[in-house]
Amino acid sequence: MIVLISRDYRGDVELTVIEKFMPLIMDREEEGVTSPIVTAKNVTFAYIKHTNLYLVSATKKNANIALVFVFLHKVVDVLSEYFKELEEESIRDNFVLIYELLDELIDFGYPQTTETKILQEYITQEGHKLEIAPRPPMAVTNAVSWRSEGIRYRKNEVFLDVIESVNLLANANGNVLRSEIVGCIKMRVYLSGMPELRLGLNDKVLFESTGRGKSKSVELEDVKFHQCVRLSRFENDRTISFIPPDGEFELMSYRLNTHVKPLIWIESVIERHAHSRVEYMVKAKSQFKRRSTANNVEINIPVPLDADSPKFKTSIGSVKYVPEQDCFVWSIRSFPGGKEYLMRAHFGLPSVESENLESKPPITVQFEIPYFTTSGIQVRYLKIIEKSGYQALPWVRYITQNGDYQLRTI
């Protein structure tokens, strides 16, 4: 292991102690033990892995471990914003800039300014210090550390995207074995001044407390908010109230552990002919409302390792063989709700070895359905309050897409 960059904030941990880290990790992996925390004598290592990099914190104190992990992930976010891709090469090319950032991110072991947009105001992309040291933005010292004062736009707009990913596993008989919805609300905010936004959803807890019933409400689980949201206000009356960062950010994420009917169902009939050829009859059916349309649908159907000489016939879209992934892909650019399409495929099988059916991978489906949510979540209102009283345009968009979406064939 090569140490690319390090920073000692308190001087109580020897710089050479990191040499003990990698052998500990290797030993634990050989034993089949995985843990984000390891100890060597009186030093505790907390680490995360990003691509081929380890980000490691070493301490001798009884540290707040949750804070440590949140900070390590925040370092990844900040460096990724600066360099687009956080990897060994981008670190080697930006040593000076990274040291500047590390000095602003943390002071004597305590996290300080961790908002990328604020850091970018006085630590330039090129990493060169200005001749006259700039005055830190007010956001560094005021209560709203994620937004600077004095922001001005000619046109005030807010874009809000509700994006839901469907994770689903179904067997060959059409029975759903596992399903959940993972959602998030992403925003792009171009507002002047220091506005307060209030967002209302069809939240089940709110509807029940106000006597509006459950018919069109949604029970959100594992809700996680951006730090700008006033948590006490949400806990009291379920209002999502916040002063937003400028630009793009994720306001909240949530999960619904609920039964989901497959939005796109795939039936497959596979006929093998004495180890000489195999034929596929694949039927795709969209099981959502007719007024919605799935875009860029890709159905990945696995084939035997030795399949060759592909021939395809389809009623819609296009089909291509992807031998490096041992599958063929049926692509349908536009798939309206309530429709059913058919595709046939033929492959030669030169091998006489029998195929292990138990290890046969499932069919996977990729798709995106705009103006549609599986959970039924709705933005009831988005109020924008700013002391100058300007009018702003809120734009709301809904998108449902595939997550881990698998359909077994056996």
Angle at 321 between CA 316 and CA 324, to 5 degrees: 150
Where among 141, 172, 195 does a domain terminate? 141
Say what the pLDDT of residue 51 is.
80
Q: What is the arrangement of strands in the sheet containing 53-59, beginning at the earlier edge strand? A: 37-40, 43-50, 53-59
Return the closest-CA partner of residue 339 out of 290, 276, 398.
Answer: 290
Q: What is the pLDDT of residue 59?
A: 87
Q: Assess whether 117 and 233 both reside in one domain.
A: no
Contact 38, 45 (CB under 8 A): yes
User: Domain range for residue 191?
Assistant: 157-260+374-407
Per-residue pLDDT at 170: 93
* Pair (78, 162) in one structural domain: no
CATH number of the domain within which 245 lies = 2.60.40.1170
Q: Look at residue 76 and tell me if it is in a domain.
A: yes
Residue 124 falls inside a structural domain: yes
Report pLDDT for 128. Answer: 35
How far apart are alpha carbons 355 and 401 in whole angstroms? 33
Same domain, 341 and 198: no
Separation of alpha carbons 371 and 162, rounded Å: 9
What is the predicted pLDDT for the residue at 344?
Answer: 96
Please give the model's pTM, rounded to 2 decimal places: 0.71
34, 130: one domain:
yes
CATH number for the domain that contains residue 64: 3.30.450.60
Rounded to the nearest integer, the mean pLDDT of the chain is: 85
Q: How far apart are CA 43 and CA 61, in angstroms?
A: 8
Residues 6+ apart with CB under 8 A from 402: 165, 166, 365, 366, 367, 368
Picking from 90, 111, 141, the residue at the C-terminal end of a domain is 141
Handedness of CA 299, 302, 306, 312 (dihedral sign): negative
**Residue 273 forms part of a structural domain:** yes
Tell whether 57 and 122 lie within a shared domain: yes
Residues 179 and 248 in one domain: yes
188-225: pLDDT as tens digits: 999 999 999 999 998 776 666 665 555 577 888 889 99
Number of structural domains the chain divides into = 3
Same domain? For 106 and 134 the reply is yes
pLDDT exceeds cutoff 60 at 173: yes
In a domain, 147, yes or no: no
Q: Which tokens sit at 284?
A: 């795709």
Do 379 and 252 belong together in one domain? yes
With cut-offs at 50, 70 and 90, classify the pLDDT of residue 355. low
279 lies in the same domain as 161: no
**Residue 1 located in a structural domain:** no
Q: Are residues 321 and 378 in the same domain?
A: no
In this prediction, residues 232-246 reach a mean pLDDT of 90
> What mean pLDDT comes out for the span 62-68?
86
Asked, for residue 313, whether it belongs to a domain, the answer is: yes
Tokens of 14: 């020897």
Instruction: Let me know if residue 385 belongs to a domain.
Output: yes
Does some domain include residue 43? Answer: yes
380 and 255 share one domain:
yes
More confident residue, 28 or 302: 302
Per-residue pLDDT at 127: 41
Same domain? 171 vs 25: no
Contact 252, 186 (CB under 8 A): no
**Which DSSP string corresponds to 46-114?**
EEEEETTEEEEEEESS---HHHHHHHHHHHHHHHHHHHSS-SHHHHHTTHHHHHHHHHHHEETTEE---
